[in-house]
Amino acid sequence: MSALPVALADIRRAAAAIAGAVARTPTVPAMALSEQVGAQVYLKLETLHATGSFKERGALNKLLSLKAAERRAGVVAMSAGNHAQGVAYHAQRLGIPATIVMPQGTPFTKIDRTEAFGARVVLHGDSFGAARAAADGLARERGLVLIHPYDDPAVIAGQGTIALELFEDCPGLDAVIVPIGGGGLISGIAVAAKALDPRVAIVGVQSALYPAMHRLFHGIGPEPPDAAATIAEGIAVKEPGRLTRRIVKALVSDIRLVDEKQLESAVELLIEQQKLVAEGAGAAGVATLLAAPESFRGRKIGIVISGANIDLRLLASILMRGLVRSGRLVRLRSELPDVPGALSRLSKVIGAQGGNIVEVHHQRLFQDLSPRRAEVDIVVETQSRRHVAALAAALAAAGFPTQLLSHDNGGERAVAQTLPPPAGERPER
């Protein structure tokens, strides 16, 4: 086998070059997650960099390799956001002019922060490929140095410094789980990790909507052309690097896919259990652990939490959807007589059971009901699914037949069978 484009010596040189300018991030035990999956789980918190992502490591290592004339000319990068911020932040610190090309639709928080670091942002196209073509064009036209987000030996070596820290803090790992977009992160980590401990398994994880490296690794063939929006936009890459695919093929043990619900659940779990904010791509390693815990049971696992730059509106939506999934925020439909005081009595029943009413939609029209009755849809904050059942039983006993409205399987449906029957009726045995 021919020599790989990056070696452990390159990663050690990168660590020396960026020392003091890039945070040495901690590795922390995930106690609740470990108990949940039956493994020893440790999280490498790359969310704690100044720009909220591991991308600073590779970006700075590349910038430091530039000659004086190249620094004066300036640099250009294409990125969905985290690489952009890493390049912009350190280019500004080093006095190097930076232009960043981003796909249209990049989260506003990443655009704003990149501009705040002094870079010129150009929005072009609706994909990473289109942004890359525009960046290549700017490099040729203006004599700028292209800082590739993953397919560059200096960038790969910079990302590999994560593994040096991880194995120093947490020796004896059986596996390391790493998110994959273009492959720069997992390539650098794999080179360092396998050199330090050849027995360690390197496991990659991709969004099921962007499985390019997964398909190459498993010999499936080229990626299908149509890719939908993902909450893991940081790894939404349709074409992995030429250098990175060589390293991945040589050193990575497996690559797995996670879907959007699994990514959402991982983001939610990190906030609730670890008090950590992670973007969808950053939480992908946790998502694959939760998706197949039996694969890691009884082992010592390191997971790279690669970034924290999640759009606040998206984060709010994920957290609210998590409350719905766990039964802590439900929508009930109750039938009541259309008389003064009926809604008040229904509200008192909910309050007496410890439910908190968030929204009420009262319908007298457009319903297949007697003119003397009405329906109300009530969004209620509850403690658990068991609490929901108790609440519904109390409503039924008070004369308000109630259904739980679910949004499972992509559409609304009434799930009356999960709730007790109205007072006076016996359930079938």
Per the structure block, which two tokens stand in for 392?
């519904």
Q: Give the C-alpha separation, 357 to 352, whole Å.
A: 12
Contacts of 281 (CB under 8 A, 6+ apart): 179, 181, 207, 232, 233, 234, 235, 306, 307
Q: What is the pLDDT of residue 130?
A: 82
pLDDT in tens, the chain (429 residues): 469 999 999 999 999 999 999 999 999 999 999 999 999 999 999 999 999 999 999 999 999 999 999 999 999 999 867 999 999 999 999 999 999 998 887 777 778 888 999 999 999 887 777 888 899 999 999 999 999 999 999 999 999 999 999 999 999 999 999 999 999 999 999 999 999 999 999 999 999 999 999 999 999 876 665 667 899 988 988 889 999 999 999 999 999 999 999 999 999 999 999 999 999 999 999 999 999 999 999 999 999 999 998 988 899 999 988 888 888 899 998 888 888 899 999 999 999 999 999 999 877 665 666 677 888 889 999 988 889 989 989 999 999 989 888 654 333 344 333 444 333 333 333
207 - beta bridge partners?
258
Q: What is the pLDDT of residue 275?
A: 94
CA 106 to the chain's CA centroid: 15
Q: What is the pLDDT of residue 279?
A: 96
Q: Give the C-alpha separation, 251 to 194, whole Å.
A: 7
Nearest to 350 by CA among 325, 363, 332: 332
Q: What is the pLDDT of residue 339?
A: 87
CB 257 within 8 A of CB 292: no
Nearest to 60 by CA among 146, 177, 158: 158
Using the CB atoms, write b or e for 179-205: b if 16+ within 10 Å: bbbbbbbbbbbbbbbbbbeeebbbbbb
Q: What is the pLDDT of residue 429?
A: 31
CA 186 to the chain's CA centroid: 16
Phi first, then psi: what are they for 347, rounded to 5°? -65, -35
Q: Give the C-alpha separation, 416 to 381, whole Å.
A: 19
Q: Where are the alpha helices (DSSP H) in 170-255?
A: 184-196, 212-217, 242-251
Q: In what order do the strands lie in the sheet with 175-179?
A: 27-29, 40-45, 300-305, 175-179, 201-207, 254-258
Per the structure block, which two tokens stand in for 21?
């300018």
Going from the C-alpha of 203 to that of each of 42, 189, 242, 263, 305, the distances in angstroms are 15, 11, 19, 16, 14
E strand or H helix at 286: helix 284-291
Q: In what order do the strands lie in the sheet with 75-78?
A: 120-123, 98-102, 75-78, 145-146
Give the long-range contacts of residues 29-34, CB within 8 A, separation 24 or more. 30/273, 30/274, 30/303, 32/273, 32/274, 33/269, 33/273, 33/274, 33/286, 33/289
pTM attached to this predicted model = 0.85
Q: What is the pLDDT of residue 365?
A: 61
Tally of CB atoms within 10 A around 241: 24
Tell me the domains of the chain and their CATH numbers.
Answer: 1-326 (3.40.50.1100), 328-418 (3.30.70.260)
Any idea what DSSP says for residue 19? B
Any idea what DSSP says for residue 2? P
